[in-house]
């Protein structure tokens, strides 16, 4: 399907959209339109076709200096999220169908990305490049759409799926006092992740370094680097350097804990089985535990494949930048996927338009069509949808416990890798949502707090691995607290509050 938009007046867009019950449900840093585009298409046009309900009639995305806000009508979002969560929990046939679809598109998106990455595009004609891009873009489209659906539309602390699973488990166990501890254990996945596989493979090489020549070690490490360097790419890169892999290898030679990863997962599984027997879970509650674990693993894997996709797209953006004599290849990531062919054939949209989009732009998706506003038009429209909420008098927030514990510490707002330099050991890390490229800061934190997320988010999974208190899904922690605030994080109660 080809989507066309742009060039419309603010008045025409405003006439076709509801603007009086809006809320920003997600804020994604290091974002671009190549990432966000199909999410919006999915909510409005694809969900009704694949069983996700016909509740969301519009989505507004606001991009400002590579930070993208996802803006929904409150009532529409709540209906869609509740509907999807209920279907995942209660309609097993539909759930299995969705998971089959996401597995299919994820596998083919990954394969198409590998092909794109390994292709020397400078040797190909425009026509040949377009043929390659058509395939990967189709897989990207449905990978993103089914991913959002399979994870229960988790945005900005509205953890409908997570909350429904937790509440039914609590009720089934008759609301035990130690529920948070039970939850922390039972919701951990015992299936090895790509990141754990990378750490284990490096540990295996480290184990053999004393018996191998330096050249053999270097060759094998280069293979591992080629296989896994994209894991921390996020949405705009860069990929992890070979020197960073060399550093990791040297550290593992001294500390061999990553060799224990498979055994630790086996031990975790046994602990879970023991607890399940102790709690005497019936088949329904066992299903909920399995669903929670599966969603956690799927969310992590889906994110990894998304990072891999954008890592591979870099090859395309660099080649387009070379052909169009653009110094910064990342400018091309502010194309929409369906604009690539036109950009190759006719230089539309212009590079100046893409630069404007990067600084400030609005993308709207509605039943009446899609549109992109940039520059002054976008700023005028943004004023009509901006919130004027005042958070100065709010002293505490509540969220969901991802890992138990209670600490006090100084707040540091960490949104992007550049923020990590201000992080000290013992600080409380507060973020919109963590990602692998923030791991060094997370390892210094005494606690982690996020606006978004639930049982399936990166912060929750990492906090369990690091065994530090973590509260996710607070909604607005980054808006209420600022750098230097002293706070108490009581993950046992899911509460963060300012202290004098």
- Contact yes or no for 294/147 (Cβ under 8 A): no
Residue 297: what pLDDT? 85
Query: Residue 1: is its pLDDT beyond 50?
Result: no
pLDDT in tens, 75-114: 999 999 999 999 999 999 999 999 999 999 999 999 999 9
Please give the average per-residue pLDDT across 291-299, as a whole number: 86
Q: What is the DSSP string of 471-489?
A: EE--SSHHHH--TT-EEEE
**CA distance readout (Å), 315 to 49, 120, 290, 321, 357:** 33, 9, 39, 10, 21
Q: Of 336, 328, 312, give the one whose Cα is nearest residue 35.
A: 336
Asked if residue 2 has pLDDT above 50, the reply is no
pLDDT range class, residue 299, cuts 50, 70, 90:
confident
Range in 140-149, 234-243, 387-396 with the lowest mean pLDDT? 387-396
| Contact call for residues 317 and 332 (beta carbons, < 8 A) | yes
For 302, the 3-state DSSP assignment is: helix
The C-alpha atoms of residue 397 and residue 419 are separated, in whole angstroms, by: 23
For residue 424, what are the β-bridge partners?
A: none
Chain centroid to Cα 364, Å, comes to 21
Average pLDDT across the chain, whole number: 91
pLDDT in tens, 23-36: 888 888 889 999 98
CA 135 to chain centre: 23
Tens digits of per-residue pLDDT, 395-435?
999 988 888 899 999 999 998 888 999 999 999 999 988 88
Q: Give the pLDDT confidence of 231-274 residue by residue, as tens digits.
A: 989 888 899 999 999 999 999 988 888 999 999 999 999 999 99
Share of the chain above pLDDT 70, in %: 96
Separation between Cα atoms, residue 14 and residue 377, nearest integer Å: 12
Strand order in the sheet with 58-64: 22-28, 67-73, 58-64, 360-366, 369-374
| Whether pLDDT at 159 is above 80 | no
Q: Which residue has the higher pLDDT, 194 or 12?
A: 194
Q: At 398, is the secondary structure helix, strand, or coil?
A: strand
Q: How many angstroms separate the Cα of 175 from the Cα of each of 71, 165, 182, 494?
A: 35, 13, 11, 16
């Amino acid at each position: 399907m080809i989507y066309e938009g742009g060039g419309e007046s603010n008045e025409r867009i405003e006439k076709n959209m509801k603007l009086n019950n809006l809320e920003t449900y997600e804020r994604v840093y290091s974002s671009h339109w190549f990432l966000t585009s199909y999410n919006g298409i999915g909510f409005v046009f694809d969900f009704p076709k694949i069983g996700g309900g016909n509740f969301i009639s519009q989505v507004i995305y606001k991009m400002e200096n590579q930070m993208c806000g996802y803006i929904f009508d409150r009532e529409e979002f709540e209906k869609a999220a509740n509907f999807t969560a209920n279907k995942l929990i209660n309609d097993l046939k539909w759930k299995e169908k969705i998971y089959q679809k996401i597995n299919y598109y994820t596998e083919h998106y990954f394969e198409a990305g590998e092909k794109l990455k390994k292709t020397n595009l400078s040797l190909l004609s425009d026509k040949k490049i377009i043929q390659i891009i058509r395939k990967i873009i189709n897989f990207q489209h449905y990978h993103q759409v089914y991913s959002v659906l399979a994870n229960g539309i988790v945005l900005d602390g509205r953890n409908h799926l997570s909350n429904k699973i937790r509440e039914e488990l609590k009720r089934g166990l008759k609301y035990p006092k130690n529920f948070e501890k039970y939850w922390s254990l039972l919701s951990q996945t015992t299936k090895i992740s790509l990141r754990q596989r990378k750490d284990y493979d490096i540990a295996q090489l480290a184990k053999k370094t004393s018996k191998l020549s330096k050249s053999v070690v270097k060759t094998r490490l280069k293979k591992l680097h080629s296989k896994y360097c994209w894991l921390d790419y996020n949405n705009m890169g860069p990929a992890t350097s070979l020197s960073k892999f060399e550093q990791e290898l040297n550290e593992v030679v001294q500390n061999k804990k990553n060799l224990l990863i498979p055994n630790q997962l086996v031990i975790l599984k046994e602990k879970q089985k023991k607890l399940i027997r102790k709690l005497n879970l019936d088949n329904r509650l066992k299903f909920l535990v399995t669903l929670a674990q599966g969603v956690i693993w799927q969310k992590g894997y889906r994110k990894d494949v998304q990072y891999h996709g954008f890592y591979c797209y870099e090859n395309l953006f660099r080649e387009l930048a070379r052909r169009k004599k653009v110094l910064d290849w990342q400018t091309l990531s502010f194309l929409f996927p369906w604009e690539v062919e036109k950009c190759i054939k006719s230089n539309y949209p212009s590079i100046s338009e893409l630069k404007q989009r990067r600084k400030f732009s609005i993308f709207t998706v509605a039943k009446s069509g899609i549109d992109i506003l940039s520059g002054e038009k976008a700023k005028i429209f943004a004023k009509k949808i901006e919130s004027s909420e005042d958070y100065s008098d709010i002293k505490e927030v509540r969220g969901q416990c991802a890992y138990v514990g209670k600490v006090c510490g100084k707040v540091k707002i960490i949104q992007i890798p550049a923020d990590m330099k201000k992080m000290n050991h013992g600080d409380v890390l507060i973020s919109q949502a963590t990602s692998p490229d923030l791991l060094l800061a997370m390892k210094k934190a005494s606690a982690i707090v996020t606006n978004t997320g639930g049982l399936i988010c990166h912060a929750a999974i990492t906090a369990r691995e690091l065994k530090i208190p973590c509260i996710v899904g607070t909604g607005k922690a980054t808006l209420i607290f600022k750098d230097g605030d002293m706070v108490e994080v009581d993950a046992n109660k899911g509460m963060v509050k300012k202290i004098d």
